[in-house]
Structure 1
Amino acid sequence: MGVKSLHSESKQTRRALFVGFILMAICMAVLIFSLNTGTIKLSPMQVLRTLMGLGTTKEATVLFDYRMPRILITMLAGIGLGISGAILQGVFRNPLADPGVVGLNAGSAVGLIVFVSFFKTLEKMSALLIPLFTFCGAMLTALLIGLLSYERGQRLQPARVILVGIAIAAGFSALSLFLSLRLDSETYTFTARWLVGNVWGRDWVHVYALFPWIIGFGVFAQLHAKTLNALALGDDTAVSIGVSLHSKRIWLIIAAVSLSSASVAMAGGIGFIGFVAPHLARRLVGSSHQYVIPISGMLGLVILVMADTAGRSLFLPSLIPAGVLVAAIGAPYFLYLLLAAPNKTN
């Protein structure tokens, strides 16, 4: 039995490495295509030459001042949203859990509106504080969900968490709209475009603000992959094998909130990536979170970069926000799984 288990684990590891290699190749192809896409065309050779410091001043300006920050933001945010969704689905043992569905994105949006109300800008060095405000908004959402989902003498019910999250998301969306109406017209327009997932106008300061959140909490999630595997077995089983259920769940939720709120802070309220990416990851590499977490992050990266690239290249001269394209793909998939779930249980 032990030999069979080791063989199965080795097979899953090889499969995860193969999938990771394929996704890495896709990431590189999408990245090169994205760097070449825009109103000013840059060929792959021009991109490579510019990266090596041999490009013209115009090519360097286009690549380093406009395209690289935007692409890096979409890459990091895609990774953050994918991993956040994988954590939430593992913690709540609910395949429908997603930062947008449970209301974390709506709470982050409130934090962003509060930030804009104080600082009147989303640019320059003050942008380093944006993730802190969105984190506070998302944590308030998570706290409310926990309080309203908890029943004394009973454990947290995953289905109840989703329903409460949907209700709180509606309330926070209404609050965001109310607060945004108090902004001046120019700030309101810019903020509305930001929140819908329009990544245009990002600068290197936004990359610096997002990078430590994604890397730090992404590594934290990977280190706690075995805890998520234990939680997937059920609370009683997790406790019986020595998992500190309450504290581990809280820290994992904080990690999910941090990843999603930081991503929303810099890429806008992009939904469904945290839902779709973990589903696809489990189909590709199985249910072990040692593999689901990194593959979810890579899938989130590919989905968001492809959506942003398509939005600014396929519909010229109009630009379609990445959040709109992701929702156009993610919403039907969400409905499909929602309708297919009862059939699987019967």
Structure 2
Amino acid sequence: MDKDSQARYISIMSIGIVLILLIVGIGLTYGELRLSWIEMMSTLLHRSSDASHYIVIFQFRLPRIVLGLVIGATLGIAGTVVQSLTRNPLADPGILGINAGAGMFIVLFMFLIRDQIDMTGNIAIMMMPLFGIVGGLLAALLIFLLAKDQHGLNPQRLILVGIAITTGFSAVTLYASLKMNPQDFEKASAWLSGNFNSANWLFVLSMLPWIVVLLPWLLCQTRLLDVMRLGDHTLLSLGIPLRQKRSQLMFISVGLVAAGVAVSGSIGFVGLIAPHMATRLVGLAHRRALPLSGVIGALLVLIADFIGRTLFSPAQLPVGIVLSIIGAPYFVWLLSRRRQA
């Protein structure tokens, strides 16, 4: 039976990776400047003689696609961890307010700090994930404190507290945005909607330290995450330092989400949809669900970005809006299913 499930996991992962490669190829060839697959491959292999092809692929399309891959994978994996820690299948970094907390601190950084100390563009971009993590951790701390009752973390209360935290942080973010000068306000508004329009290799570089350090550690905690689905009393009886381990896992998840929010803005529902699809396909075991959530998350973001970039051309719809259009009905459907259950 385990061999069958392992074969199923390998086949599903292979299909997911092939779909990602297909979307990447389509994304590199399709746009205002259409390229054939041969032209695209020759440019990637540095065998093309057309300088415009290099500019379109290496300066515009490829950084955007790589950023979408990384952010989608991290959001999918972080969403799986958050759902396991809270034991709530409706939990998502965006719904719980982590995105809003990270976004608020980044907007405050843009409004209060960046211009005051005259940071250059590159330094500001590298500093933004730090402020995003602080805001995300603050949101997570408030949520955990307010959602607790005498029996521990209340999954139903968690959603309500997350909505309240999101509303409060979003109000502060909006107020700070309105106080900006028109040029910064336009940038902040575009960033808050969640888009890759300004994606470049520096954005990818600013995320790399967080991905390289945090993601492998999280992927090595699959057994602990399996155990975390049990009740608090059971975990304490097994001798697991519950608060310490939960704090560590939440810190890593918030770090991944905040690093993504810092460079792309708030992108919601990936951390909700990807874990559900992964567990339906390969079960609850995190050694399979966690990597598959990353693959599905990357695929969702790439598809949403491609739709927003091409369907409304020459205008571009932010990827965050496309995912909200998809994710909101999915969230309502999940709520109705839980009510029927």
Q: Judge same fold: TM > 0.5, yes or no.
A: yes
CA-CA distance at 1:43 after TM superposition? 1.7
CA-CA distance at 1:184 after TM superposition? 0.5
Letter in 2 for 1:11: D
Higher deviation after alignment, 111-120 or 81-90: 111-120
Q: Does 1:325 align with 2:322?
A: yes
Residues in 2 aligned to 1:109 and 1:37: alpha-carbon distance in whole angstroms: 31
CA-CA distance at 1:66 after TM superposition? 1.1
Residues in 2 aligned to 1:16 and 1:136: alpha-carbon distance in whole angstroms: 36
Aligned position for 2:13: 20
Same amino acid, percent of matched pairs: 36
Residues in 2 aligned to 1:231 and 1:10: alpha-carbon distance in whole angstroms: 25
Residues in 2 aligned to 1:171 and 1:123: alpha-carbon distance in whole angstroms: 29
Q: Does 1:114 align with 2:112?
A: no
Aligned position for 1:208: 205
CA-CA distance at 1:11 after TM superposition? 2.6
Q: Deviations over 1:291-341 (max 9, x none)?
A: 111111110100001110111111112211111110111110000010111
Q: Deviations over 1:258-293 (max 9, x none)?
A: 111111111210110000000000011001111111
Residues in 2 aligned to 1:200 and 1:186: alpha-carbon distance in whole angstroms: 16
Higher deviation after alignment, 302-311 or 153-162: 153-162
Residues 294-313 of structure 1 mapped to structure 2, 5 A cutoff: 294-313=291-310
Higher deviation after alignment, 41-50 or 100-109: 41-50
Residues in 2 aligned to 1:87 and 1:337: alpha-carbon distance in whole angstroms: 18
Residues in 1 aligned to 2:100 and 2:120: alpha-carbon distance in whole angstroms: 18
- Counterpart selection for 1:61 from 42, 51, 55: 55
- Counterpart selection for 2:147 from 126, 136, 149: 149
Q: Deviations over 1:140-173 (max 9, x none)?
A: 111111222234x542222222221111110000
Aligned position for 1:5: none
Residues in 2 aligned to 1:231 and 1:310: alpha-carbon distance in whole angstroms: 37
Letter in 1 for 2:14: F
- Counterpart selection for 1:256 from 230, 253, 264: 253
Residues in 2 aligned to 1:234 and 1:226: alpha-carbon distance in whole angstroms: 15
Residues in 1 aligned to 2:15 and 2:31: alpha-carbon distance in whole angstroms: 26
CA-CA distance at 1:126 after TM superposition? 2.3
Residues in 1 aligned to 2:7 and 2:243: alpha-carbon distance in whole angstroms: 34
Q: Does 1:244 align with 2:237?
A: no
Contact 1:83/1:294 (CA < 8 Å) preserved in 2? Answer: yes
Q: TM-score, normalization: structure 2?
A: 0.95
CA-CA distance at 1:124 after TM superposition? 2.5
Residues in 2 aligned to 1:219 and 1:238: alpha-carbon distance in whole angstroms: 24
CA-CA distance at 1:119 after TM superposition? 1.7
Aligned position for 1:105: 99
2:32 aligned counterpart, secondary structure: coil
5+ residue gaps in structure 1?
1-7
Residues in 1 aligned to 2:177 and 2:229: alpha-carbon distance in whole angstroms: 40
CA RMSD of aligned residues (A): 1.5
Aligned position for 1:4: none
Aligned position for 2:262: 265
Residues in 2 aligned to 1:319 and 1:169: alpha-carbon distance in whole angstroms: 26
Residues in 1 aligned to 2:192 and 2:31: alpha-carbon distance in whole angstroms: 22
Residues in 1 aligned to 2:7 and 2:30: alpha-carbon distance in whole angstroms: 35
Q: TM-score, normalization: structure 1?
A: 0.93
2:227 aligned counterpart, secondary structure: helix
1:287 aligned counterpart, secondary structure: coil
Residues in 1 aligned to 2:177 and 2:135: alpha-carbon distance in whole angstroms: 15
Aligned residues: 336
- Counterpart selection for 1:195 from 174, 192, 197: 192
CA-CA distance at 1:123 after TM superposition? 4.0
CA-CA distance at 1:203 after TM superposition? 1.4
Higher deviation after alignment, 171-180 or 67-76: 67-76
Aligned position for 1:79: 73
1:312 aligned counterpart, secondary structure: helix
CA-CA distance at 1:26 after TM superposition? 0.4
Aligned position for 2:124: 126
Residues in 1 aligned to 2:208 and 2:191: alpha-carbon distance in whole angstroms: 18
Residues in 2 aligned to 1:242 and 1:32: alpha-carbon distance in whole angstroms: 49
Contact 1:229/1:289 (CA < 8 Å) preserved in 2? Answer: yes
5+ residue gaps in structure 2?
none
1:124 aligned counterpart, secondary structure: helix
Contact 1:230/1:243 (CA < 8 Å) preserved in 2? Answer: no
CA-CA distance at 1:122 after TM superposition? 9.1
Letter in 1 for 2:128: I
Residues in 2 aligned to 1:273 and 1:265: alpha-carbon distance in whole angstroms: 16
